[in-house]
């Protein structure tokens, strides 16, 4: 199996608060991973560290086989860690064209990626006419423009209506089925169960479980978690 990302006692402190506390796990190619934990448990901070936008306080992470520096490695990563932000008066296609220029990737795959997220028929619509779900789907298309090895999503369905949530989850599953590794952060157990094959459960920055989703309830006593997505413990 090919390793995409390894965390080794990765730690982040904000003053007296240890937001991420010695996280250790490995992401293997082809799987769909969830980082599951209630709000404030350290999910976004963890993603921020491996994406090199948050400085780590301790431990380490390694992309791929460790032979590339982080800057090079991140060219093979697609990530959405903020609300989708595009130019409102430009079309979907024009916005992605701009992303290609900024990222220095070819614009030949724009329509292919719009198709992946079900927006090909809206390629000439202005971004400002898009629903929140469509904006999020455009962000996913944007993150796929470089044909990443792994797609990282932070709370990809937050704020969406049930139909929008369903669409995003189906798109993530399709992307995974085509061989792209996925890492998503979520506070929803139900989201992880529906989308992910593997999960890392964290609370207050500490890892409670890392393993297969279909083994977490039976073997680790997390069954009661089903009762309440938000109050994980
Ligand atoms: P999650 O994404 O799981 O909701 P976060 O990673 O955003 O959690 O935050 C983890 C903890 O770190 C929270 O207690 C949060 O308030 C704190 N935190 C996050 N970013 C900062 C920051 N820049 N400065 C101080 N505390 C922060
Ligand atoms: Mg977060």
pLDDT tens across 76-129, in order?
999 999 888 899 999 999 999 999 999 999 999 999 999 999 999 999 999 999
**Which protein residue has the closest C-alpha to ligand 1 atom 14?**
40
Centre of ligand 1 to C-alpha 13, Å, is 10
Q: Among 14, 183, 186, 232, name the best residue to mutate to test ligand 1's pocket (greatest count of ligand atoms within 8 A of Cβ).
A: 14
Determine the pLDDT at residue 135.
Answer: 97
pTM score, two decimals? 0.94
Is residue 125 classed exposed, middle or buried when 0-12, 13-18 and 19+ CB atoms within 10 A define those classes? middle
Angle at 121 between CA 170 and CA 88, to 5 degrees: 95
């Amino acid at each position: 199996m090919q390793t995409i990302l390894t965390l080794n006692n990765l730690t982040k402190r904000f003053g007296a608060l240890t937001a991420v506390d010695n996280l250790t796990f490995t992401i293997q190619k082809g799987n769909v991973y969830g980082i599951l934990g209630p709000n404030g448990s350290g999910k976004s901070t963890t993603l921020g560290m491996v994406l090199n936008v948050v400085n780590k306080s301790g431990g380490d992470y390694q992309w791929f086989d460790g032979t590339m520096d982080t800057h090079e490695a991140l060219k093979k990563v697609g990530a959405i860690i903020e609300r989708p932000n595009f130019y409102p008066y430009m079309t979907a296609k024009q916005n992605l064209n701009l992303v290609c220029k900024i990222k220095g990737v070819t614009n030949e795959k724009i329509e292919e990626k719009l198709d992946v997220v079900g927006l090909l028929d809206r390629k000439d619509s202005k971004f400002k006419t898009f629903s929140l779900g469509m904006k999020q789907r455009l962000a996913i298309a944007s993150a796929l423009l470089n044909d990443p090895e792994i797609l990282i999503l932070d709370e990809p369905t937050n704020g969406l209506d049930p139909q929008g949530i369903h669409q995003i989850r189906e798109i993530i599953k399709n992307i995974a089925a085509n061989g792209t590794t996925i890492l998503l952060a979520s506070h929803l157990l139900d989201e992880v169960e529906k989308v992910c094959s593997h999960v890392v459960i964290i609370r207050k920055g500490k890892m409670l479980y890392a393993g297969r989703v279909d083994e977490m309830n039976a073997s680790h006593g997390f069954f009661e978690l089903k009762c309440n997505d938000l109050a994980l413990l």
